[in-house]
């Protein structure tokens, strides 16, 4: 057991990580639960603290392209273009790993998922460390990802010594994951960077390979991102007729519904980035309300709206 502390002390975070301990770190997407990616004992603590299945590999975080090169065998041309356009940022690259990356970090895979996060505190921390950080989202396995230091504390209190507080995650959705196969760019997880933005830079279409039943990216299990309350996705007007007598709460994109049930709007001005940045906080707040069921509507299925809808659908299974 630890007394979990929240603070902005970079040196404290650095020392703990150098000693093989866990530190939750802020990123622009969601908070990560970090450990030295090269230290098998430190990485094992991540799986334990999150109660994460050992078959689910971790994303590693690096300071810059030089450090990225020290972790992977080769970087395809398409990947270099994406790095130039979007890193640091909410894009993760699946690349053949070098042997310094231990098997436990990649759950036995020859590929490692790696990204350069866009957050000043975490970039400063990474620059001071001489190892990359393995960091999955800093929530107990299966629950909604944390976008504030308090969310991390709510889920991992007593299990980790320190949370580096970098304020609210600005993007609010996990990174988009891309791989490279036979000259094609393959999207493995929808996330904070839109497919359209990726295709614009590449000047070609990407392939979608988003599995819900595990094999390639085991973290894509259906139960991922679930609220504790039952969440139903659909036409809220219709659902209200069916569930109107129950204790319900409503999550909507832009409009409010004519009802006395509690409701939360993702973005009253219909701004997709704002909706994304609020989604996980809103889901967590609904979980704390005195309701039994959450009714949610999908957002327009374009840009990062696709990732928002993906998270809502997963939470509803
Ligand atoms: O934005 C993000 O990506 C956040 C922040 C902290 O960086 N991290 C995050 O990590 O969302 P996590 O562990 O919650 O999700 C990582 C996903 C999982 O679906 C995992 O299965 C997949 O990436 N993944 C990681 N390494 C992989 C690998 N070597 N091969 C295939 N999938 C991998
Ligand atoms: Mg996660």
CATH of the domain at 40: 3.90.870.10
Closest ligand, as measured to the CA of 217? 1
Give how far the C-alpha of residue 38 lies from the chain's centroid of Cα atoms, to the nearest Å. Answer: 21
Give the Å distance between the CA of 238 and the centre of ligand 2: 32
Give residue 100's pLDDT band: very low, low, confident or very high (50, 70, 90). Answer: very high
> Same domain, yes or no, for 91 and 234?
no
What are the pLDDT digits (tens) for 266-304?
A: 999 999 999 999 999 999 999 999 999 999 999 999 999
pTM comes to: 0.96
> Same domain, yes or no, for 12 and 160?
yes
> Same domain, yes or no, for 194 and 254?
no
Question: Would you state the pLDDT for residue 211?
Answer: 72
> Same domain, yes or no, for 105 and 248?
no
Work out which ligand 1 atom sits closest to the CA atom of 111.
29
Give residue 317's pLDDT band: very low, low, confident or very high (50, 70, 90). Answer: confident
Closest-CA residue, ligand 1 atom 6, reads 32
Closest-CA residue, ligand 1 atom 29, reads 112
CA distance 183 to 178: 13
Q: What's the domain range around 56?
A: 5-208
Percent with pLDDT over 90 in the chain? 94
> Same domain, yes or no, for 235 and 203?
no
Q: Which of 189, 194, 25 is nearest to 119 (CA)?
A: 25
Does the pLDDT value for residue 219 go beyond 80? no
In a domain, 222, yes or no: no
What are the pLDDT digits (tens) for 25-42?
A: 999 999 999 999 999 999
- The burial of 208, by beta-carbon neighbours within 10 Å (0-12 exposed, 13-18 middle, 19 or more buried), is given as exposed
Work out which ligand 1 atom sits closest to the CA atom of 188.
32
Question: Would you state the pLDDT for residue 251?
Answer: 98
Among residues 150, 177, 208, the one where a domain terminates is 208
Mean pLDDT of 111-139: 98
What total number of domains does the chain contain? 2
């Amino acid at each position: 057991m630890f007394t979990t502390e929240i603070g902005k002390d970079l040196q404290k975070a650095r020392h703990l990580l150098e000693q093989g301990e866990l530190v939750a770190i802020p990123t622009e997407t969601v908070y990560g639960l970090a450990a030295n990616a090269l230290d098998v004992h430190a990485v094992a603590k991540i799986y334990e603290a999150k109660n994460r299945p050992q078959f689910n590999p971790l994303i590693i975080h690096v300071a810059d392209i030089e450090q990225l090169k020290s972790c992977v065998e080769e970087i395809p041309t398409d990947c270099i273009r994406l790095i130039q356009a979007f890193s640091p940022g909410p894009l993760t690259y699946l690349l053949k790993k070098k042997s310094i990356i231990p098997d436990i970090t990649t759950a036995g895979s020859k590929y490692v998922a790696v990204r350069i996060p866009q957050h000043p505190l975490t970039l400063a921390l990474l620059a001071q460390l001489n190892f990359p950080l393995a960091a999955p989202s800093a929530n107990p396995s299966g629950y909604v990802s944390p976008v504030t230091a308090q969310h991390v504390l709510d889920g991992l209190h007593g299990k980790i010594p320190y949370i580096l507080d970098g304020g609210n995650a600005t993007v609010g959705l996990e990174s988009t994951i891309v791989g490279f196969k036979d000259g094609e760019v393959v999207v493995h997880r929808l996330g904070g960077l839109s497919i359209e933005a990726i295709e614009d830079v590449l000047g070609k279409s990407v392939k979608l390979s988003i599995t819900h039943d595990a094999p390639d990216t085991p973290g894509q299990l259906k139960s991922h991102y679930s609220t504790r309350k039952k969440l139903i996705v659909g036409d809220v007007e219709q659902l209200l007729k069916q569930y109107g007598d129950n204790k319900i709460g409503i999550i909507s994109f832009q409009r409010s519904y004519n009802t006395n049930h509690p409701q939360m709007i993702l973005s009253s001005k219909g701004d997709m980035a704002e909706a994304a940045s609020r989604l996980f906080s809103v889901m967590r707040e609904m979980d704390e309300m005195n309701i039994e069921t959450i009714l949610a509507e999908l957002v327009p299925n374009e840009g990062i709206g696709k990732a928002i809808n993906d998270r809502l659908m997963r939470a509803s299974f």
